[in-house]
Structure 1
Amino acid sequence: MAAIQSMTGFASREGEIDGLAFQIDARSVNNRALDVRLRVPQGFERQEAELRKAVAATFRRGSVNLTVSVKRAEVETRFSVNHTQLMTYVDAIAALAESGSVAAPRADGLLALRGVIEAAEGDETVAVPDMMDEARQVLAALEADRLEEGARIRPVLEDQLRAMDRLREAIDAHPERALPAIRARIERQIAEMLSGARALSDERLHQEAALLATRADVREELDRLAAHIAAARALLAEGGAVGRKLDFLSQELNRETNTICAKAPHHAITALGLELKAVVEQLREQVQNLE
């Protein structure tokens, strides 16, 4: 039995690449189509198209938010000598020393002058290839999380389909659906029409009898319910991105259930129909979470 996937999930990954600490978060919620939203750091903009392709290759539906953030990790500060600034000071001091204005400078004095010693600036450029690999791993983790949620939803859907089958069978087996009961209701309704003040022609009487017979039975609706339930089970077994199809089937199940409730010849059948309608609605709520 192939897996089904929820559209709800979360995955996160953090680490360090070349002195850059990174964190990648991926969140997914329900959506009718695939909606990809990215937040990436400076230096990663050119990879947005590649990243969108990676998301589209992994998911079919859902609103997917992917955030990549980086900052320089705490490392030992490095220093460098600004030789240009140093030589400027040396030339100026040498000119003063020749005139006898100042003594010759010492090395430690020169290095202490402003601008001679500089802290090396950190490079915040993202290590693109490595970061793309990390992002793909996060997407794989998000997919795994969505699959786990789908695995939790599957037995719920299977229980709901079994409940629909039981209710459908209960309606089908109800005594008020038996042929004698249907015949008795039609005869009673025809007798009521014949007892009216206005006489009915034979042709009109046959039309009314045919209409009453049509309204008295829900055989077609029950057969279609059975077919829709079987189709839903087949989709669950097929797996993959079946959310849209199951949502459509839930609408068809609801339509047939409404018709059964409207045509129900007895309040007990109406009660079963309403219970069936509640289960169908629960199924529809669940399948809207599926990819």
Structure 2
Amino acid sequence: MATLRRVHSMTAFARVDEAASWGTLHVEIRSVNQRYLEPHFRLHESLRDLEPILREALRTRLARGKVECSIRFESSEAVQAPTVNTARLAAISDALTTIQQHVPSAVPPTTLELLNQPGVMETQHLDQLAIKAAAKTLFEQALEELIDARAREGGKLAEMISTRLTAVSEQVATVKSLLPQLLERQRAQLLERLEMAKTELDPQRLEAELVLVAQKADVDEELDRLTAHVEEVSRQLTQAGPKGRRLDFLMQELNREANTLSSKSIVAESTRCAVELKVLIEQMREQIQNIE
């Protein structure tokens, strides 16, 4: 099973959140299959300058897929609400008392006027460096979860492909076992047609016809190539790194040999095997579209 974890799907989702005194961060990363790596970012206005760093982190960890990344930030109500600077207010109160002592006729300010005095009302400033550092750490956690999810899904895809590869090998073995009797049956059918037509052929001409039939029905080369391709697909599933494009190419080659096998088929048994091969190859090809 450990080798199958080397296969990564391109389809996955990850989300992580963090709450702190300055607010809450929400990071989401989702990916689907794509021929190349295609990242898209939706970041909170205050975090826009992080995009080049996050984009590079994606590029070094992922090779393919359409990846949508979202980071939302909600500041806490405690940070948003203004507070009264009691020290500043006390200083203004002392000054007003002094003024009242020296100028008894002075009109004291209203509460609203006091609040409008510079420094009385304060708004706490967000620690942008701390928020950005938390956002980067959270993004790395989400990216790690996404990669783990892609690996788990990739393992399932590899198991399915391995099962189909075994079935392909069984079909190839079936055709190989049928070849001697298929060729003998073709020879018998040709002789029977000649007998029914009351036609006599020169022995050398007859042998040439039989050789021609045998050549047209000979699929040893196709079966050998099918076996080689199956072995290469199995090997690729155990290799590290991206392999989706190579596997897709191998599916094309497998399908090419299956088509040739079908075109050379001379009896129903080999035709059924060729059709089953094409079905198995198509099932693998559909799943390989999701492999990184």
TM-score, length-scaled by structure 2: 0.80
Q: What is the match of residue 45 of structure 2?
A: 42
- 1: distance between equivalents of 2:73 and 2:195? 84
**Aligned amino acid, residue 155 of structure 1:** E
Contact 1:177 1:217 in 2 (8 A): no
Contact 1:7 1:289 in 2 (8 A): yes
1:10-49 to structure 2, matched below 5 A, reads: 10-49=13-52
Contact 2:22 2:127 in 1 (8 A): no
What CA deviation, in whole Å up to 9, does each residue of 1:267-286 have, x standing for no partner? 12111211111111101111
Contact 2:37 2:67 in 1 (8 A): yes
Q: What is the match of residue 256 of structure 2?
A: 255
- 2: distance between equivalents of 1:187 and 1:239? 56
**Aligned amino acid, residue 71 of structure 2:** V
Q: What is the match of residue 164 of structure 1?
A: 168
What CA deviation, in whole Å up to 9, does each residue of 1:172-224 have, x standing for no partner? 1126655433444565688899959xx99x89x95x66543321121111111
1:74-89 to structure 2, matched below 5 A, reads: 74-75=77-78, 77-80=81-84
Q: What is the match of residue 240 of structure 1?
A: 241
Which residue, 153, 170, 190 being the options, matches 2:157? 153
SS in 2 for 1:238: coil
Q: What is the match of residue 284 of structure 1?
A: 285
Provide closer, same or farther for how the CA distance between residues 252 and 45 of structure 1 changes in structure 2, counting only shifts above 3 A: same
SS in 2 for 1:31: coil
Q: What is the match of residue 231 of structure 1?
A: 232
Structure 2 residue 123 is the aligned partner of structure 1 residue 120:
yes
How many correspondences in the alignment? 277
Structure 2 unmatched runs, 5+: none
- 1: distance between equivalents of 2:63 and 2:195? 60
SS in 1 for 2:73: strand
Task: Say what the alpha-carbon RMSD is for the aligned residues.
Answer: 3.6
Contact 1:20 1:124 in 2 (8 A): no
- 2: distance between equivalents of 1:240 and 1:268? 40
Contact 2:12 2:146 in 1 (8 A): yes
Contact 2:183 2:214 in 1 (8 A): no
Q: What is the match of residue 265 of structure 2?
A: 264
Identical-pair percentage: 28
- 2: distance between equivalents of 1:193 and 1:279? 42
**Aligned amino acid, residue 165 of structure 2:** L
* Runs of at least 4 residues off by over 4 Å: 81-84, 109-114, 175-179, 185-196, 208-211
Provide closer, same or farther for how the CA distance between residues 46 and 288 of structure 1 changes in structure 2, counting only shifts above 3 A: same
Please report how far the alpha carbon of residue 170 of structure 1 lies from its aligned counterpart in structure 2 after TM superposition.
1.1
Higher helix residue share: 2
- 1: distance between equivalents of 2:127 and 2:192? 88
1:159-198 to structure 2, matched below 5 A, reads: 159-174=163-178, 177-184=181-188
- 2: distance between equivalents of 1:250 and 1:147? 22
Provide closer, same or farther for how the CA distance between residues 234 and 46 of structure 1 changes in structure 2, counting only shifts above 3 A: same
Q: What is the match of residue 4 of structure 1?
A: 7
- 1: distance between equivalents of 2:286 and 2:166? 17
SS in 1 for 2:222: helix
Provide closer, same or farther for how the CA distance between residues 247 and 174 of structure 1 changes in structure 2, counting only shifts above 3 A: same
